[in-house]
Amino acid sequence: EIVLTQSPGTLSLSPGERATLSCRASQSVTSNHLVWYQQKPGQAPRLLIYGVSSRATGIPDRFSGSGSGTDFTLTISRLEPEDFAVYYCQQYGSSRYTFGQGTKLEIK
């Protein structure tokens, strides 16, 4: 099973700053099936990015995804107050879906 490790665990930034979140896989991710979700307290996760770099419907273009193989990045170009949340990466491989442990993006 592929293990996803996200870093940092917590990221403290101010609105307007750029956020860079990392997701590292223990093996190469199949066919670029790497996904990012955002979760706010008391809410279900929300799809942000699929296929490494494709934005989901309605996701602002300040969110972007990149990477390949085992190293992937979610970038938020200019943080808005509503972006402070927990972010999870997810992959699919060998009929299994696994999530990273999450990165909490908090207001500095």
Partner 1 sequence: QVQLVQSGAEVKKPGASVKVSCKASGYTFTTYYIHWVRQAPGQGLEWMGMVSPSDGNTNYAQNFRGRVTMTRDTSTNTVYMDLSSLISEDTAVYYCARELPATCYFDHWGQGTLVTVSS
Which whole-number Å values give the CA distances from 39 to 45, 92, 93, in the listed order?
4, 19, 23
Please identify which residue in 9, 44, 61, 81 interacts with partner 1, judged by CB under 8 A.
44
Question: CA 26 → CA 1, 15, 21, 47, 66, distances in Å?
Answer: 9, 32, 17, 23, 17
Q: Is residue 45 a contact residue for partner 1 (CB under 8 A)?
A: yes
Tokens describing residue 14: 């101010």
When the beta carbons of 29 and 79 are compared against partner 1, the nearer one is 29
Pick between residue 8 and residue 51 the one whose CB is nearest to partner 1: 51
Task: Choose between 84 and 100: whose C-beta lies nearer to partner 1.
Answer: 100
The distance of closest approach from Cβ of residue 46 to partner 1 in the complex, given in angstroms and rounded to an integer, is 8
Complex with partner 1: residue 10 or 18, whichever CB lies closer:
10
Exposure pattern of 29-38 as b/e (b: 16+ CB <10 Å)?
A: beebebbbbb
Where does this chain bind partner 1 (CB under 8 A)?
Answer: 33, 35, 37, 44-47, 50-51, 56, 88, 90-92, 95-102
